[in-house]
Chains A and B, each alone.
Chain A
Amino acid sequence: MSGRLSLLILAIISCGGLLAPGARKAGADQPPLDSREHLEEILERPLYQRWRLRQERAERDNFKIDEKYLNKFWEFLQECLEKLFDWLSRRSPRSGLAGGLGSIAGSLKAAGWLALALLAAYLAYLVYKTLRSDQLHRARAKILSREQIRKALETGEALALAGSGWLQEAERLVAEGNFRAVYRALYLALLSGLHTAGKIDFRRNRTNWMYVFFFRGPEGEKESFSRLTALFDEIWYGEKPAPGYSLSQLKDQVARLTRKEIQHA
């Protein structure tokens, strides 16, 4: 099919080449080119090259596992299962009630093995989860220098500290009288906490409203998050004075939204 299309394209390009004004002139004044050279010249043309590359790409994209191999795999699987059942039936008595019971016992044994394998997989998953959580908390608990915290605050690297860490930083900034930065630290506490609680996925290329849009949580919490985001926008991007919210009020809101993370911390 691809070969036929290739020939068709070649024919179109060569016809186009003959019909082009330049080609007509050359045909009239000069002897015709050797057909092989002419063909090579056509194959060199960007139009053909572009088509060929596109065709190759399309073929790559359309690549599918051959049904023949799929059938072979199913046959192999069937064979393995048959062998397994043969083995199970050989291990149990063949006649009468005893034979039937033996077959049930064999099946139960196989089911037991399967359950054991599943249990082992689940235990492995639990161990992995615990280790990952521990690693995360150890990373969070690492003590950053003042300079590192200041840099994280400036660059908006919310995951540099845990939510509770950012809340402490906010309190320190209050003492310094840097109220604009206080709100920034509070918002970073919110993002860090929500990320740990699994309600958002923090990524540096996302805007605050993207987090609101993709928020995973109850509608009420989403509204609170939306209000806090609008407030942060006003203060940080709008460079407006902090409105009549007290720090403790905002801290409470942040803590409520990130409850899981704060409790854990």
Chain B
Amino acid sequence: MSDELAAQLSTVTQKLGQLKEELKKVILGQDGVLEQMLITLLCGGHALLEGVPGTAKTLAVRALAMTLSCQAKRIQFTPDLMPSDILGTNVFNLAANTFELRKGPLFTDLLLADEINRAPAKTQSALLEAMSERHATIDGVRHPLSPVFTVFATQNPIEFEGTYPLPEAQQDRFLLKIKVNYPAEESERAILEAVHRGAPPDRLDPGTLVPLFTVGDLQRLQAALTRVRIEPGILSYVLKIVRATRENEAILVGAGPRGSIFLLTSSKARALLQGRDFVTPDDVLAMVGPVLGHRMTLSAESEIEGAAAEDIMKSILEKLEVPR
């Protein structure tokens, strides 16, 4: 590696470290979630956040947008939400005698799609198409979205009444499924103490966080990902893990090639976040759950037995040798 490249990567990792510290000022006890959200951004993917209400999902997205000096918008998905509500629509301007595009909330950098499973399939697919194509089609005309357009969709894991669960094919479009759990006792105490001192519990006042990155910086970071190296043994390890999901009896449909690609890129992004320009098996293992968990369809027997995708994945990993 040249000295210039090493210096560049050192700056990148230093800035990412600062970013993580800045975010931790307002998001307490969710370090893993923050790391996975940053990985999503570095990979240029989208994430599905799954967690019970009140675990700082919305706040995390807002804080991220603030530190990246990005524009962020939020859509609360409801059963009556129409595709035009998120994409936008052409409105006739009587004075100019022409149609004018009134852009929907999709035209932003970071989008928080709250409770995505509450909207009907038609609206979900309009969003998912925009996610994969990075453009929106309104009245037959294609409109490009922000180059760093990232969706953080949320869904509640316990309440399914009146919801439209995302089909497997649509879930596959999300780079990561981030599980947002309750914070640890110490972190929750720190949150209470902060609120007691006067910090707003779920609001983020302007100036609370220092913007450290611009959209251009983020794009450069995404480009830096290609310079993260991966030893051939680790590449084979990624391949073995994904292929093992297709051969396991407990799994009806394993992860596809998109799963392998995402596991590789997210492992590289994690390495970068850890301040390394090379991937280790620990990076791969850390990303297996968030990348592959939602890409597997369990067999009927496993579902009846109440097996979780995490447990099956664990048994797969126990049989695979770590490259050394």
Residues of A whose CB lies within 8 Å of any CB of B are 50, 53-54, 57, 155-156, 158, 184, 187-188, 204-210, 233-234, 236-240
Whether the Cβ atoms of A205 and B231 lie closer than 8 Å is no
Kindly identify, within residues 139 to 173 of chain B, every residue whose CB is under 8 Å from any CB belonging to chain A: none
Which residues of chain B are within 8 angstroms of A156 by Cβ–Cβ distance? 321-324
Q: Is B229 an interface residue (CB 8 A)?
A: yes
Query: In the bound complex, what is the Cα–Cα distance between A57 and B306 (angstroms)?
Result: 10
Query: In the bound complex, what is the Cα–Cα distance between A188 and B279 (angstroms)?
Result: 20
Query: In the bound complex, what is the Cα–Cα distance between A46 and B15 (angstroms)?
Result: 55
Kindly identify, within residues 274 to 324 of chain B, every residue whose CB is under 8 Å from any CB belonging to chain A: 276-282, 285, 304-306, 317-324
Whether the Cβ atoms of A207 and B280 lie closer than 8 Å is yes
Say whether, besides A50-B304, A54-B304, A207-B285, A238 and B321 are in contact (CB < 8 Å). Answer: no
Please classify the interface of chain B as helix (H, G, I), strand (E, B), loop, or mixed, using the class held by over half of its residues: loop
A-B pairs with beta carbons under 8 Å apart, 15 shown: A57-B305, A156-B321, A156-B322, A156-B323, A158-B324, A205-B321, A205-B322, A208-B280, A208-B281, A208-B324, A209-B280, A233-B278, A234-B278, A238-B276, A238-B277
Kindly identify, within residues 14 to 64 of chain B, every residue whose CB is under 8 Å from any CB belonging to chain A: none
Which residues of chain B are within 8 angstroms of A204 by Cβ–Cβ distance? 321-322
Query: In the bound complex, what is the Cα–Cα distance between A70 and B270 (angstroms)?
Result: 55
Which residues of chain B are within 8 angstroms of A209 by Cβ–Cβ distance? 280, 282
Whether the Cβ atoms of A237 and B279 lie closer than 8 Å is yes
18 other contacts beyond A205-B322, A207-B281, A236-B324, with CB at 8 A cut-off? A53-B304, A54-B306, A57-B305, A156-B321, A158-B324, A205-B317, A205-B318, A205-B319, A205-B321, A208-B280, A208-B282, A208-B324, A210-B282, A233-B276, A233-B280, A237-B234, A239-B229, A240-B1
Query: In the bound complex, what is the Cα–Cα distance between A234 and B229 (angstroms)?
Result: 11
A79 smallest CB distance to B (angstroms): 44
Please classify the interface of chain A as helix (H, G, I), strand (E, B), loop, or mixed, using the class held by over half of its residues: helix
Instruction: Write the B225-267 contact mask toward A (1 if CB under 8 angstroms, else 0).
Output: 0000101001000000000000000000000000000000000
Query: In the bound complex, what is the Cα–Cα distance between A158 and B322 (angstroms)?
Result: 12
Which residues of chain B are within 8 angstroms of A50 by Cβ–Cβ distance? 304
Cβ 8 A contact of B282, one of A54, A207, A238, A240 = A207
Query: In the bound complex, what is the Cα–Cα distance between A237 and B317 (angstroms)?
Result: 20
Query: In the bound complex, what is the Cα–Cα distance between A155 and B279 (angstroms)?
Result: 18
Whether the Cβ atoms of B304 and A236 lie closer than 8 Å is no
B72 smallest CB distance to A (angstroms): 35
Which residues of chain A are within 8 angstroms of B318 by Cβ–Cβ distance? 205
Which residues of chain B are within 8 angstroms of A239 by Cβ–Cβ distance? 229, 231, 278
Query: In the bound complex, what is the Cα–Cα distance between A120 and B209 (angstroms)?
Result: 71
Whether the Cβ atoms of B1 and A237 lie closer than 8 Å is no
Whether the Cβ atoms of A237 and B321 lie closer than 8 Å is no
Cβ 8 A contact of B321, one of A155, A184, A236, A240 = A155
B265 smallest CB distance to A (angstroms): 17
Query: In the bound complex, what is the Cα–Cα distance between A206 and B246 (angstroms)?
Result: 22
A202 smallest CB distance to B (angstroms): 10
Query: In the bound complex, what is the Cα–Cα distance between A174 and B179 (angstroms)?
Result: 48
The 4 A-B pairs with the shortest beta carbon distances in the complex, nearest first, are A156-B324, A238-B278, A204-B321, A207-B281
Most buried by B among A158, A234, A237: A237
Cβ 8 A contact of B280, one of A53, A187, A205, A237 = A237
Whether the Cβ atoms of B231 and A237 lie closer than 8 Å is yes
Who on chain A is nearest to B279 by CB? A237
Query: In the bound complex, what is the Cα–Cα distance between A198 and B316 (angstroms)?
Result: 27
Query: In the bound complex, what is the Cα–Cα distance between A155 and B237 (angstroms)?
Result: 12
Query: In the bound complex, what is the Cα–Cα distance between A156 and B277 (angstroms)?
Result: 23
Query: In the bound complex, what is the Cα–Cα distance between A57 and B231 (angstroms)?
Result: 45
Kindly identify, within residues 102 to 152 of chain B, every residue whose CB is under 8 Å from any CB belonging to chain A: none
Who on chain A is nearest to B277 by CB? A238
Whether the Cβ atoms of A236 and B231 lie closer than 8 Å is yes
Which residues of chain A are within 8 angstroms of B229 by Cβ–Cβ distance? 238-239
Which residues of chain B are within 8 angstroms of A158 by Cβ–Cβ distance? 324
A30 smallest CB distance to B (angstroms): 31
Query: In the bound complex, what is the Cα–Cα distance between A239 and B232 (angstroms)?
Result: 11
